[in-house]
Structure 1
Amino acid sequence: MTSSLFSTVESNKVNPAKKPKLLVVDDEQDNLDLLYRTFRREFTVFRADGGIKALEILAKEGEMAAIISDQRMPEMNGTEFLSRTVSDFPDTMRIVLTGYTDITDLIDAINSGQVHKYITKPWEPDQLKLVVSEATQTYDVLKQRSEELIRSQAQNALLSVIVQIAQQSDRLDSCVMPLADAFCQNFGADGAIMQLVEQGALSNTHAKCGHNIWDLASDPLVQQAISTGKSQISLDADGKTNSAQPCKTSVVIAITFRDEVLGILALGWQDANAVSLGDIAAIQQCADEVAIALTCIRFYAKL
């Protein structure tokens, strides 16, 4: 990571570039094979021979950047299938392949936002590639905006909790649990631990929440964060970089004020690469506010 606030675990990458996911749906196997060959280099392509199978794939694999669906299929037509994906995957781009001239249903679907574009059959591969490329670029913009909005909402909610704790708490041991819980809830972590640091070592004041927790004393990332004053990130897909942490994504935040480490906030997610650079920066910004709150509470507790 480029920021001086962080030290990324060596050999790990922060959200390494992945192929976007593409779902192609057609009841004709030849068309499925052709679509797969057309897009397999640029996309991770999933194939379904009908709407029901496609819905099963979406339930298992999650959101796609784009879906290409034939319109005329025996189980359900393309626009009907695509309309059933809108509520769960609003950002996905939907493209319909149609081989007949009556496009009233397609126009209605496009006007309602359920379909991005339609392509007539037989299609020109270069034209279809261009349409899909433009669609995935639009998807990337929509996803970025959605993620920024969600992150901003989480950050604002968390900052509200931090301000409330700073104003109302008069003991350090009473604030660690609400802080750990607020970070865990607002950033969707599977486990969160907050533990205060005294004289360069973990103290007995700590709080744990979530269903994936671990011992910070045996976590090498925690020791590194305390010794360097820099937060540590592990996004190892194999989960082998840090054997002390049960989660594949681990973020250990050093809560510091004027170069003094006041505490450690450790967050874990079961999935690899579960957070983005923007998420980590937002967590660190909130942790900086926590450092100020802890300093204020510690000051008034001594009075």
Structure 2
Amino acid sequence: MTTPAPTGVWPVMLTPFDADGRVDLAVLDRYTDWLIDQGAAGLFPVALSGEMYELTPLERLLVAERVVHRAAGRVPVAAAIASAGTDEEVADAVGRLAATGVDIVVLVASVALAEGEPDQRLLDLVDVVAAANPDVALGVYECPMPYHRVLRDETVGALAETGRFAFFKETSHDVGRMATRVWFAEGTPLRVFDAGIETLAQSVAAGTAGLSGWIANVHPDAVARLIDLVRAEGASPRALALQAALGAAEQAMGPTYPASAKVLVDLRSGIGFAPRSRWRPAEVVPAELADLLAQTEREVAAALALVSSPTARVGG
């Protein structure tokens, strides 16, 4: 029976590269430990932030297997199928990824479906994948690349009703739509995760299970605290202030992401993360990112110092 994904923070893990351009497994190990120590409820390597489209098929399996080995059961691990094929080829790819030990194999909507194809095509694929892999828990990810495919709400409901889906990274950025998707998934193992920090307080108040987004790679501890605040207080003034601080940090690192995030992680953790990227190589200025980190830490502390009245809730 499929087990729902734990609620909370699911970082879409960054992939470290060494000076020769290879996946840096030693840094990946330390990053895995750090994210867990900082409060990650689960880990999602082999996603867009992990540069999945720039990794070779063997590297995707290597990264997934390494994170599973290092996590050692402390938190569950999800990883995505980043290439298309026939239904049978995708089913085989799901089996190979599951063999790395990941807890959830994630189908990417914009990979599984070509532009213009109806959602029914995904449901037909799932029938084949599920039959060929009867013991594998599945997920779905509305990745914005190679194009942004937002599934119909009824499709999300149909996936949930299979009982095979545990994780949904949804990217509509529409809180009302997220609430509808939560409603469709009620009573099934599927849990809906917001991809955007800018809507997280409101979406958690509406029933989403947490965040799987960029800022979670750098500040998983603060995101976890935000989720806890919303569960205790609703979208209260200090929850919204904390959300605003994290949103500003994400926006500032966005133009040079993921290189900027790698520097910020290293500033926070000291694990030796270099700012190398295959997907979006960019020049970063460490001193500017150090200033951003200091500013974010001040704003997070100020938000948490606010006193929230239980009566001053938004969407709680």
Q: TM tier, shorter chain?
A: under 0.3
TM-score by length of structure 2 reads 0.25
Structure with bigger gyration radius: 1
Larger RCO, structures 1/2 (Cα 8 Å, 6+ apart): 2
The structure that is strand-richer by fraction is 1
Greater share of residues in helix = 2
